Amino acid sequence: MRTIAIGLLGAGNVGQGVLRILTENADAIEGRLGAQLDVAGVLVRDLDKPRSVPVPPDLLTDDPQRILGDPSVRVVVELLGGIEPARSLVLDAIARGKHVVTANKALLATCGREIFAAAAAQGVSVYFEGSVAGGVPILRTLREGLASDRILGICGIVNGTCNFVLDAMGRHGLDYAAAVAEAQDAGYAEADPSLDVEGIDAAQKLALLCLVSFGLRVDPRRIPTEGITRVRAFDLQTAERLGYVVKLLALAEATESGVRARVHPALVPRDSVFAGVHGPFNAVLVNSAALGRSLYYGLGAGMMPTGMAVVSDVVEVCRNVLAFADAGPPPEAFREVRDAEPLPIDEVEHENYLCVHVPNVPGVLGRVASCLGRHGVSIKRMNQDTPGPGEPIDMVILTERVAEARIAAALAEVDRFDDVLGPTDRIRIVDPDAVGGVP
């Protein structure tokens, strides 16, 4: 039986998942590949750190050159996370003609141009399935399963931590800090959970989805992004009473003038499939011209799901190696990739959930409603509890569809009223099925 040597850079949560899958699923992998995968070395920072998955001590090294300089290693698996030293080590591996598999979305979303160009010049592959939606094979589906279709729009729940936190607050009554701590303990959150809760992780994943869906390279820092830090338990509970569930969505649509991409929390209708995506699960709904809507669902984070996606990439690379088709299909899905600036979202129209913070005094509702009306914002529904005179009210308003620019201008004016007690909360209302229009 032929053996293909691989080297691991990193043995954290996902790295240990990779090692477990290589051991526990060795027969299944060998049966599909017709070859054995052999780990030639594992780069770690601390040789003595206890690990839940034991690594034979002779494989552990704190010297990357032991892996990169080993000519038998055909595939380097980068699981260090972050930009450096991951970027330098990946470029070094490519320069030595090694294929690369990574789950590092921050690296590819920010340095993808350099890395993919280096790989193309060397005729090697860089696969990255584990970087988006953990174990859900969404990139391979977009690259291969939908290779003959035109992608019109994508709507995803792609951050398991945010989904877990929103669920834990809304369904289980946990406060925000406790919910984030639980997500961290379960191994879903990034080392710095602000990347999750601020929507940055989702924006990086959306940039990679835009690459593979549209052949457009979008800088994730240019994607309009709002995280979940301002969503309160009150909003989650009120949304539920009104027939909605709050989710952090990553959305992209192809338009004639470019790509419209954004990340923000949204109220989705309770009968939408997205309302049933709970805890660390992810879902991506793709709207494409010929197929129409298709949905991809599964665990979006964690040792074994993401480890599985990484090892499946290794299997794909090794299949290409064995077929003497070294570089395989283009990892970015398109032969030519263009740079694209995300379109401004000022003209995008949504219904909105608003929560205006005012005291219960005569005329306050009229002042808020007239201001909204002056800006062309029409009220669809209104709801408030029955406080005593002068007591603070959470005045909940659902608007009709209105352009972002109009609602933003209206709320800027409302929030300047003398008697407004704090910034108005706004959460957009999105029907995931409508993203990308009618195929």
Contacts of range 323-326, beta carbons closer than 8 Å, 24 or more positions apart: 326/99, 326/123, 326/124, 326/125
Q: How far is the CB of 247 from ligand HSE (least distance, A)?
A: 13
Taking the C-alpha atoms of residue 39 and residue 74, their distance in angstroms, rounded to an integer, is 11
Taking the C-alpha atoms of residue 107 and residue 91, their distance in angstroms, rounded to an integer, is 11
Taking the C-alpha atoms of residue 415 and residue 75, their distance in angstroms, rounded to an integer, is 56
Q: Using the rule CB under 6 A, which residue among 301, 340, 427, 429 binds ligand HSE?
A: 301
8-state DSSP, 388: P
Cβ closer to ligand HSE: 153 or 300? 300
Q: Using the rule CB under 6 A, which residue among 41, 137, 279, 300 binds ligand HSE?
A: 300
Site string for ligand HSE, 389-428 (x = CB under 6 A): ----------------------------------------
Considering only residues 234 to 253 of the shown chain, the ones binding ligand HSE according to CB under 6 A are: none
Q: How far is the CB of 203 from ligand HSE (least distance, A)?
A: 12
Residue at 142: amino acid letter: L
Task: Name the strand (E) or helix (H) holding 217.
Answer: strand 216-217
Total of residues contacting ligand HSE (CB under 6 A): 10
15 part of the interface to ligand HSE, by CB under 6 A: no
Close Cβ partners of 330 (under 8 Å, ≥ 6 residues apart): 143
Q: Using the rule CB under 6 A, which residue among 189, 249, 333, 371 binds ligand HSE?
A: 189
196 part of the interface to ligand HSE, by CB under 6 A: yes
Instruction: Please pick, among 98, 105, 205, 247, the residue that the annotation labels catalytic.
Output: 205
Phi, psi dihedral angles at 118 (to 5 degrees): -65, -40
Cβ closer to ligand HSE: 61 or 194? 194
Q: How far is the CB of 329 from ligand HSE (least distance, A)?
A: 23
Q: Which of 168, 190, 221, 208 is nearest to 13 (CA)?
A: 190
Residue linked to tokens 């999750």: 196
Q: For 50-81, give the DSSP string.
A: --SS---TTTEES-HHHHHT-TTEEEEEE---
Q: How far is the CB of 189 from ligand HSE (least distance, A)?
A: 5
Cβ closer to ligand HSE: 8 or 189? 189
Cβ closer to ligand HSE: 40 or 301? 301
201 part of the interface to ligand HSE, by CB under 6 A: yes
For residue 299, list its beta bridge partners: 281
Site string for ligand HSE, 146-165 (x = CB under 6 A): -------------xxx----
188 part of the interface to ligand HSE, by CB under 6 A: yes
Cβ closer to ligand HSE: 300 or 342? 300
For the chain, what is the largest distance between any 2 Cα atoms, rounded to a whole number of angstroms?
83
In this structure, the chain runs to a length of: 439
Q: How far is the CB of 195 from ligand HSE (least distance, A)?
A: 7
Taking the C-alpha atoms of residue 55 and residue 35, their distance in angstroms, rounded to an integer, is 22
Cβ closer to ligand HSE: 198 or 351? 198
Considering only residues 59 to 88 of the shown chain, the ones binding ligand HSE according to CB under 6 A are: none
44 part of the interface to ligand HSE, by CB under 6 A: no
Q: Please indicate whether residue 205 is annotated as part of the active site.
A: yes
Q: Mark out the alpha helices in 143-261 (DSSP H runs).
A: 160-170, 176-185, 194-197, 200-214, 233-241
Q: Which of 285, 401, 403, 430 is nearest to 345 (CA)?
A: 403
Residues tagged active-site: 205
Q: Which residues bind ligand HSE (CB under 6 A)?
A: 159-161, 188-190, 196, 201, 300-301
